[in-house]
Amino acid sequence: MSLEGITGLLPFLLLFLVFYFFMIRPQMKKQKEEKKFAADLKKGDKVVTKSGMHGKIIDFSEKLNAVILETGAGKITFDKSSISLELSKQLNAPKKEEKK
């Protein structure tokens, strides 16, 4: 391949690298974190679903790949994938006290 051929491909190669580091890699990292979070859930954890339902895990249904949450409305079954990593972290984060 000649030098002109390589320099012609250089913009496409740089575009692919930018796309990989700003789009593909972060998405793969987020999926890995969410998978680990779902695997680490245990009874008694307080969680929030992606739709905003707050509850405490009381049991698991391995057959359905679901969790059973105790909420203000009673016991409800949700898919593990519907549990929000970010919202659950916010719920369980230590509260900062306001200074007046």
User: pLDDT tens, 4-14?
Assistant: 777 888 889 99
CA distance linking residue 18 with residue 6, whole number of Å: 18
* 22 domain residue, yes or no: yes
CA distance linking residue 68 with residue 77, whole number of Å: 4
Whichever domain contains 75, its CATH number is: 2.30.30.140
The model's pLDDT over 32-85, given as tens digits with 9 standing for 90+, comes to: 999 999 999 999 999 999 999 999 999 999 899 999 999 988 999 999 999 999
Domain that holds residue 18: 1-40
Q: How many domains does the chain have?
A: 2
Amino acid at residue number 44: G
User: What's the residue count for the chain?
Assistant: 100
pLDDT surpassing 80 at residue 95: no
* 5 domain residue, yes or no: yes
Q: Are residues 59 and 25 in the same domain?
A: no
The predicted structure's pLDDT at residue 99: 59
Q: Are residues 25 and 35 in the same domain?
A: yes
* 70 domain residue, yes or no: yes
Amino acid at residue number 20: Y
* 76 domain residue, yes or no: yes
CA distance linking residue 39 with residue 34, whole number of Å: 9
Cβ(76)–Cβ(53) below 8 Å: yes
